[in-house]
Amino acid sequence: MLEADLLFNFPAKEQYSKSNSTGGFPFFRDMGPFHWMHAKMVSSMAENKEAMKRDAKTVAGWDFDRIIPCHGDVIETEGNKAWRALYKAFLD
């Protein structure tokens, strides 16, 4: 699955592998889809909770294993599990 701003996978080691920078930002360090702060941020930013519930369930029902995010490293396996962990508040 290709996605833009609905899931981050920091630190972005892949993106900075050819540079002198680590790509690490103190606030976002290790904020992947399984991090409690990422899930809290996602649930608090949803303006329409019912629409988010509907859409998070739709995506969770797709058959995907790999997620390619715009922000952070590719999640090579268990992408659906990562999605479900991040959007747990909308899937229960």
CB 7 within 8 A of CB 79: no
Is 10's pLDDT higher than 60?
yes
Element (H, E) at 82: helix 79-86
Mean pLDDT across 21-38: 68
- pTM score of the predicted model: 0.78
39 or 64: whose pLDDT is higher? 64
Mean pLDDT of all residues in 36-40: 84
| C-beta atoms surrounding 75 within 10 Å | 22
Given a cut of 60, whether residue 46 has pLDDT beyond it is yes
Over range 62-89, report the average pLDDT.
Answer: 92
Judged against a pLDDT cut of 60, whether residue 52 lies above it is answered with yes
